[in-house]
Structure 1
Amino acid sequence: MKQLSILFRWDGTVGRGFYALVGVIGFAFKHNLDRLVATVIFHRRWGIFNYWIPPVQVLHFSSLPRADAIFLGSLLAMALPFIWVGVALTVRRLRAIGLPIWLVVLFFVPALNLLFFLLLSTLPSRAPKGAAPPPARDRLERIFDRYIPHHIVGSAALAVLITAILGVATVGFATSQMPVYGVGLYVGLPFCLGLISSLIDGYHHPRSLLRCLAVSALSAVLVGVGLFALAIEGAFCLIMAVPIGMILAVVGGAVGYLIQPVSGAARQTPATMLIAILFAPGVIQAERALKPEAPLYQVTTSVVIHAPAETVWRELVTFNDIDEPPDWLFRLGIACPTRATIAGRGPGAVRHCVFSTGAFVEPIEVWDEPRRLAFSVTSNPPSMTEWTPYENIQPPHLEGFLVSERGQFLLTSLGPHQTLLEGSTWYRHHMQPAEYWRLWSDFIIHRIHERVLRHIQLRAERSNAAGELKNGGAIP
Structure 2
Amino acid sequence: MSAGWPELVRRSAYSAASFALIASQNLVAWGAIKAFSVERVLDVEFWLTPLSSAMSISSLPPIWGAVIFAYSLLVAWLLALMSFQLARRTNRGFILAVGSVVPVLQLGAILLNAVLPARKAVDEMQQSRATSAKNVTMGLIAGIALVVLAVLISAVTFGAYGYGLFVMTPFLVGITCGYLVNEQSDLGASTTMKLVIAAAGLGSLALVVLALEGIVCIILAAPLAIPIVMLGGVIGRGLAIARHNRRTPLASVAILPMVFMLEAAMPPDAPIVTQYDIEIAAPAEQVWQALISSEPIAPVPGLPALAGLAYPIKGTLKDEGLGATRMGVFSTGTAIEVVTEWEPNRLLAFRVEDEAPAMEEMSPYRRVHAPHVEGYFTTGETRFVLVPLAGNRTRLKISSEHRLRIDPVPYWEPIARLTIHENVSRVLTDIKAKSELDHT
TM superposition score normalised by structure 2: 0.66
Aligned equivalent of 1:422, options 389, 392, 397: 397
Partner of 1:184: 164
Q: Structure 1's 149 and 420: CA in aligned 2 closer, same or farther, altered over 3 A? A: farther
Q: How far is the alpha carbon of 1:240 from its aligned partner?
A: 0.8
Partner of 1:272: 249
Partner of 1:333: 308
Please state if 1:198 is matched with 2:186.
no
Partner of 1:140: none
Distance 2:271 2:304 in 1: 24
In structure 2, give the amino acid aligned to 1:272: P
Partner of 1:35: none
Secondary structure in 2 matching 1:169: helix
CA contact (8 A) 1:232 1:395 kept: yes
Distance 1:279 1:243 in 2: 24
Q: Structure 1's 331 and 431: CA in aligned 2 closer, same or farther, altered over 3 A? A: same
Aligned equivalent of 1:216, options 190, 196, 200: 196
Distance 1:300 1:247 in 2: 34
**What are the equivalent positions in structure 2 for 1:397-408 lying under 5 Å apart?**
397-408=372-383
Please state if 1:439 is matched with 2:414.
yes
**What are the equivalent positions in structure 2 for 1:103-118 lying under 5 Å apart?**
none
Q: How far is the alpha carbon of 1:149 from its aligned partner?
A: 8.4
In structure 2, give the amino acid aligned to 1:464: H
Partner of 1:379: 354
CA contact (8 A) 2:158 2:260 kept: no
Q: Structure 1's 150 and 294: CA in aligned 2 closer, same or farther, altered over 3 A? A: farther
Q: How far is the alpha carbon of 1:221 from its aligned partner?
A: 0.7
Secondary structure in 2 matching 1:155: helix
Secondary structure in 2 matching 1:189: helix
Partner of 1:113: none
Please state if 1:157 is matched with 2:137.
yes
Secondary structure in 2 matching 1:404: strand
Distance 1:175 1:229 in 2: 16
In structure 2, give the amino acid aligned to 1:274: A
Q: How far is the alpha carbon of 1:444 from its aligned partner?
A: 1.5
CA contact (8 A) 2:212 2:368 kept: yes
In structure 1, give the amino acid aligned to 2:211: A
Partner of 1:295: 270
Partner of 1:284: 260
Please state if 1:173 is matched with 2:173.
no
Please state if 1:246 is matched with 2:221.
no
Distance 2:233 2:248 in 1: 17
In structure 1, give the amino acid aligned to 2:250: M
Q: Structure 1's 437 and 160: CA in aligned 2 closer, same or farther, altered over 3 A? A: same
CA contact (8 A) 1:149 1:155 kept: no
CA contact (8 A) 2:211 2:365 kept: yes
**What are the equivalent positions in structure 2 for 1:11-160 lying under 5 Å apart?**
151-160=131-140
Partner of 1:31: none
Unaligned runs of 5+ in 1: 1-147, 466-476
In structure 2, give the amino acid aligned to 1:311: Q
Secondary structure in 2 matching 1:175: helix
C-alpha offsets along residues 358-399 of structure 1, whole Å, 9 cap, x if unaligned? 222222222244333222211101112221122332421111
Q: How far is the alpha carbon of 1:261 from its aligned partner?
A: 4.2
Q: How far is the alpha carbon of 1:197 from its aligned partner?
A: 0.9
Greater displacement, 385-394 / 321-330: 321-330
Aligned equivalent of 1:359, options 320, 328, 334: 334
Distance 1:364 1:346 in 2: 7
Secondary structure in 2 matching 1:412: strand
Please state if 1:305 is matched with 2:286.
no
In structure 1, give the amino acid aligned to 2:224: I
Aligned residues: 313
Distance 1:254 1:309 in 2: 62
Identical-residue share of aligned pairs (%): 27
Secondary structure in 2 matching 1:151: helix
In structure 2, give the amino acid aligned to 1:224: S
Partner of 1:92: none
Partner of 2:41: none
Secondary structure in 1 matching 2:223: helix
Secondary structure in 2 matching 1:301: strand
Please state if 1:347 is matched with 2:322.
yes
Distance 1:293 1:229 in 2: 29
Distance 1:186 1:416 in 2: 53
In structure 1, give the amino acid aligned to 2:328: C
Please state if 1:320 is matched with 2:320.
no
In structure 2, give the amino acid aligned to 1:268: N
Q: CA RMSD in A?
A: 2.2
CA contact (8 A) 1:321 1:339 kept: yes
Q: How far is the alpha carbon of 1:331 from its aligned partner?
A: 4.7
TM superposition score normalised by structure 1: 0.61
Distance 2:187 2:387 in 1: 64
Greater displacement, 385-394 / 159-168: 385-394
Distance 2:284 2:369 in 1: 42
Distance 2:241 2:149 in 1: 30
Q: Structure 1's 174 and 257: CA in aligned 2 closer, same or farther, altered over 3 A? A: same
Partner of 1:456: 431
Partner of 1:410: 385
Partner of 1:37: none
C-alpha offsets along residues 173-217 of structure 1, whole Å, 9 cap, x if unaligned? 222244111111111101110111111112222342222222221
Q: Structure 1's 301 and 220: CA in aligned 2 closer, same or farther, altered over 3 A? A: farther
